[in-house]
Amino acid sequence: MEGTLVNTIQNILGSGFIIFGVVFSVLGVIGILRLPDTYSRLHASGKVGTLGVIGICIGAAILMPSAALKVIALSLFLVFTGPVSSHAIAASLHRHEVRILVTDPTHPAAKRILKALDAQVTSNISYSVYNVGEYAPLEILTSVKPTLAIGKTESLMELINLLPPETVRPLPVFIVLYKDEIPPQISGQPHVAQLHCNVDMTDAEIEELLKATLVQATNTFEPIASNVPHRI
C-alpha cells in the first residue's frame, strides 16, 4: 500500500514537471513565430532552453530515478550554457543589425512606416526600432547609434548637427518625411533616401521603399561590422 502511494506521488510529480516543461516549450515556440523582432524571439527561445527543457528533465528524473544523475547533469549544462549562448547571439546581432531611429513618431507617414515595420517588412534583414523621445540627444549617438533615421527635416538636421565633424562612422541613412523635393539644407547630406508622405502613397509602395532603404543602410554600414574604419 505504501509503495503504491509513493509510486502515485512520483507519477504525479513527474508528470506535472513534464507538463510544465511542455507548456513553456510551446509558449516559447509560439513566441519565436509571433514576436516582431529578433531580441524578443531570443527571449522566447530562452524559455524553451531553460524552463521548458529543464522542466521536462526534472520530470524524467522523477519518473526514472536510475537516470537521475544524467538528467541532472544535462539540466546543469543547460542552465550554465543557455545564458552564454543567448548573450553571444544578442551581442553579434547588436553589431550587425539595422537600428532604426524614428524622430517624429506622431507624423502620419511615420505611423504608416512603423505599422509596416511592426509587420516585419522583411525577414532577410534584422532591425530594431527606437523612439527618439526615449533617449537624451547624446545618448542617441552613444547608445542607439542609429543606422537608419526617419523623420522630418528639422529633427533630422538636429541629429546631423550632433555628429562630430570627423568620425569613423558614416552618417545614418535617412528617410525624409516630406511631400515634394528634399529641402536644400538636407539634400546635400550623404545617404539620404526620400519618402513622399502624400496620401497617394500606398502601403505596398512604403513597404518596397523600406526594403530598399534597409538594404542601403546594411550596405552603408557594412564596414562597421568588419571593423574597417569608414570616414564621412
- Give a three-class secondary structure readout of 110-128: HHHHHHHHHCCCCCCCCEE
Residue 119 lies in a domain: yes
- Of the residues 32, 59, 94, which one is the last residue of a structural domain? 94
The CA–CA distances, whole Å, from 127 to 78, 114, 177, 211 equal: 28, 12, 20, 11
- Of the residues 94, 122, 146, which one is the last residue of a structural domain? 94
Report pLDDT for 165.
63
Residue 231 lies in a domain: no
Report pLDDT for 230.
31
This prediction's pTM: 0.60
Residue 232 lies in a domain: no
Residue 218 lies in a domain: yes
Report pLDDT for 226.
40
Q: Are residues 90 and 138 in the same domain?
A: no
Residue 199 gets which letter from DSSP?
Answer: T
Q: Where are the beta strands (DSSP E) in 95-223?
A: 98-102, 127-131, 148-151, 173-178, 192-196
- Of the residues 94, 128, 143, which one is the last residue of a structural domain? 94
Task: Give the domain range for residue 82.
Answer: 2-94
Q: Are residues 84 and 102 in the same domain?
A: no
Q: Are residues 101 and 192 in the same domain?
A: yes
The CATH number covering residue 204 comes to 3.40.50.2300
Q: Are residues 119 and 155 in the same domain?
A: yes
Neighbours of 230 (CB within 10 A): 14
Q: Are residues 162 and 215 in the same domain?
A: yes
Residue 230 lies in a domain: no
Which residue ranges in the chain fall short of pLDDT 50? 223-232
Number of domains in the chain: 2
> Position 163: which residue type?
L
Q: Are residues 102 and 184 in the same domain?
A: yes
Report pLDDT for 231.
29
Report pLDDT for 232.
27
Q: Are residues 116 and 133 in the same domain?
A: yes
Residue 118 lies in a domain: yes
Q: Are residues 101 and 206 in the same domain?
A: yes
Report pLDDT for 229.
34
What 3-state DSSP class applies to 193?
A: strand
